[in-house]
Amino acid sequence: MMATSASGLRERVRSIVTCSICLEDFDNPRSLSCLHTFCFKCLEDFTRSAQSRAERILCPICREEFTLGAKGVAGLPNNFFLVDLLDAKQVVEDGSKHGLCEVCSSERGESSEDARATVYCEDCGQKLCERCSLPHKRLKGGEHRVVALEEVKSKASKPTVSKSSYCENDPDEVVKMYCADCKTNICVVCFATEHQQHQCRKIEVVAEEIGRQMDVDVDLVSQRLTEIWSKLDRLDASSSKFNDQVREIELAVQQQWAEMKQLIDRQLKEVLDELQAVKQKVMKNVSSLRESLDTSLVAIESFTTYSKELRSKGKPCDVSKAASGLHSRALDLQQMPVASIESCIPNVLFKPADVAKTAATFGALSSFIGELAVTKYNSGNRLLNVK
């Protein structure tokens, strides 16, 4: 039973630390405003592709729109929780393989029992033996957080890696303050060189205030749960009622079809024959109109071609000689009537018959299915009945 739980925990951790774009463990995870997280490189490729297509940039998961600042993807916040979880996962995996002190094994190549890792430094992200962990507990700037390796493996203590504790501008310096103007964590070096005129306070104080606001936000947001659950219940009820209505309509349609089928077969050929007759008449009109338009087109193209040739290649005497005739021809072509297509192709409609009325009379079989209504568009785009 315990093995099954451990296996389930590993699967859950694996799903949490997997990028939904590349389906690999997160690499430099960055969070969007909707709180969904992706690899830095995956987001760069994704946003570059969307921008090249001049499309809005939408979250690949929830489709919420987001924008990038001047720094692009690099300006998106790091998801330090996932970074911590990835490192914890790596610690457990590495510990299950060899469990050697990273300092001893890398510097002296030792592999004896004395070089086996027993603790984990959360600030440095290293597995250490007892001897190598001592300097981490006696640092002048404050001791590091060193926990037993077994606690990490059993998840009794969640390691937090130094990437979230160290300054982005000065990687060797621990962040101590929060700049409200720049909305970023800073170390004392950054404060002294770049943020002296800004509103800066200790991270612990700011975190406590933010934490209280987070508690208020969580309470307010949680109150929406009742509303959402109520709407889900109503949605389920409405959906069920709709499905019942659909089934009733299906039965009604099938019943209507069964009542009409014996008369439909008789009427089908008559309606289709009428439709074909309309089609043949219209196609004849289309053919005649096309010939008229083609003739007009040839006349205009011939005039245009000849005029351009004369203008570009003719002698002055040729141009002056043909001027009167060409101008008269141009006037004729401008006034030449061009066949209208408004009345050539009608709009064919099908008006279903009133089955109940027809069934009551039962003698008007010709309208039992329905009849065609052939209409055309006039200049005002209104339908005119031509039948």
Residue 207 dihedral angles phi and psi, to the nearest 5°: -60, -40
> 10-residue block means of pLDDT along the chain (387 residues)?
53 80 90 90 90 83 87 84 75 59 67 69 80 77 74 52 68 87 89 90 90 90 87 91 89 77 78 89 89 88 89 86 86 84 80 71 52 54 46
- Three-state DSSP state, 370: strand
Task: Return the pLDDT at 67.
Answer: 85
Task: Return the pLDDT at 87.
Answer: 72
Residue 78 dihedral angles phi and psi, to the nearest 5°: -75, 145
Residue 176: count of CB within 10 angstroms of its CB: 19
Task: Return the pLDDT at 153.
Answer: 59
| Cβ atoms 256, 296 nearer than 8 A | no
Task: Return the pLDDT at 383.
Answer: 45
Q: Which class is domain 12-76?
A: alpha beta
Task: Return the pLDDT at 329.
Answer: 86
Give 20's contacts (C-beta < 8 A, 6+ positions apart): 36, 38, 60, 61
Among 331, 349, 334, which Cα is nearest to 386's? Answer: 349
Task: Return the pLDDT at 375.
Answer: 61
Give 202's contacts (C-beta < 8 A, 6+ positions apart): 176, 177, 178
Q: What is the H or E stretch that residue 119 is in?
A: strand 119-121
Cβ-defined contacts of 114-119 (< 8 Å, 24+): 117/149, 118/148, 118/149, 119/146, 119/147, 119/148, 119/149
| Cβ atoms 94, 165 nearer than 8 A | no
* Distance (Å) of CA 300 to CA 137, 242, 243, 328: 97, 62, 63, 13
Task: Return the pLDDT at 100.
Answer: 77
CA distance 341 to 336: 16
Give 56's contacts (C-beta < 8 A, 6+ positions apart): 50, 65
Amino acid at 237: A
**Strands 200-202 vs 146-148: parallel, antiparallel or unpaired:** unpaired
All CATH 3.30.40.10 domain ranges in the chain, comma separated? 12-76
